[in-house]
Chains A and B, each alone.
Chain A
């Protein structure tokens, strides 16, 4: 199972993902630039990603809690999601996301 993550500098990384892991955890585990300050509790929005158009409809829609947290990112787009709220499963094999600037570890905007 793998996911494709484009980092803030535009480089695409192909990452091995495990069933049941959160996409945030996969990205963090591979050492990409993600802050994920709250460790996946939907409390910080520093795991913000943009989901590729072809994958958007395959994800569970965001919960109210996730929508509320998305209010706290200043670089919101219609395809914005919190990667800690996306759980890896067979159906998401090949998922493509791009790390938002507001997820940067150094300068969580």
Chain B
């Protein structure tokens, strides 16, 4: 734990499209935001599941890609200087005696805030775990789903499984450090950038790495220390020495800790809110976007944006109960335009 608490008006959990637009709406009413996401970048589902696919139902954008929408939102909220805290998950939310909230992340960051906005969408993104027996016992010791410290991989026998950019990038990055490196993929075709594929193939040709077409079968080791992985290949089972295993099968969404915060839920998965303020059963905690539920809810980006606008009005009253909120348009209000840096 750092011991340094970040004190703010609003903490937004989730940097998906809805969390991002909430920064804008809260900014217009002068509230400062801290945004936390378990991913290492903004965009939520748009950036993670369909960055290249076009979306057709964002008002005034006949067509825009998931990444394009994310980039535009980041540009739109820039004047409000929200601070982003990536690669960490909000694990705990607790109400303090003075009515403020204390949030803690799994990276040990602590936030004190008057308002919490849960924009956690379909839940937190987590790596897909291979269905291999006992894999849990090796996780964090010799099986990793991401590389945090390259040094942990020096002089190790590394096996990387997958056919996308993460698998290829880490093959290229870790090769110089590794004692041995084996890349395993189910077919001899890769989804990654052509340049990375070419570089990888060159390393195979020089005999600096092995490439095996096959799949992860079983693991062998003791006390979390991996010794060997066994692969299923066309020619039968094949053992490869391995002290580090990196499976890269992409990400999937899990509800995660949100379910344990004592809020009223719908179907054990979605957070119940009212449709006036999008507040949860806990005053001061709001839920907007795909994570919430109310009669008639549509899981659309458009709906999440609308919810953010109403939430911001209510959040303002909590943070500055003595200030009157005057409804204004961005087109005509010089005050709002000043905030946006255009007047």
Binding site for B on A (CB under 8 A): 35, 37-38, 41, 43-46, 67-68, 70-76, 101-102, 107-109
Contact = CB atoms under 8 A, between A and B. Distances in A.
B340 to A, nearest CB: 34
A76 B252 contact: no
B108 interface: no
Interface of B: 49-50, 53, 122, 128-132, 161-164, 185-187, 189, 191, 215-216, 247, 249-250, 252-254
B191 A68 contact: yes
Contacts of A109: 128-131
Contacts of B247: 74
A63 B130 CA distance: 24
Contacts of A43: 49-50, 53
B228 to A, nearest CB: 18
Given A101-B131, A107-B129, 12 more contacts: A37-B49, A43-B49, A44-B252, A68-B191, A71-B164, A72-B164, A74-B128, A74-B130, A75-B131, A102-B131, A109-B128, A109-B131
A38 B53 CA distance: 12
Nearest to B269: A105
A102 B249 CA distance: 11
B191 A76 contact: no
A68 B50 CA distance: 13
Contacts of A46: 252
B133 to A, nearest CB: 12
B131 A72 contact: no
B250 to A, nearest CB: 4
B249 A35 contact: no
A108 B164 contact: no
A72 B131 CA distance: 12
Contacts of B185: 71
Contacts of B189: 67
Contacts, number: 60
A74 B215 contact: yes
Contacts of A108: 128, 252, 254
A71 B129 contact: no
A44 B215 contact: no
Contacts of B249: 72-74
A101 B135 CA distance: 15
A46 B126 CA distance: 13
A37 B252 CA distance: 8
A41 B50 contact: yes
B253 A37 contact: yes
Nearest to B161: A74
Contacts of B128: 72-74, 102, 108-109
Contacts of A35: 252
* Most chain B beta-carbon contacts within 10 A, residue among A67, A70, A71, A102: A71
Contacts of A67: 187, 189
Nearest to B299: A39
B78 to A, nearest CB: 28
28 contacts: A35-B252, A37-B49, A37-B253, A38-B49, A38-B50, A41-B50, A43-B50, A43-B53, A44-B49, A45-B250, A68-B191, A70-B186, A71-B162, A71-B164, A71-B185, A72-B128, A72-B164, A73-B249, A74-B131, A74-B215, A74-B247, A74-B249, A102-B128, A102-B131, A108-B252, A109-B128, A109-B129, A109-B131
A102 B250 CA distance: 12
Nearest to A68: B191
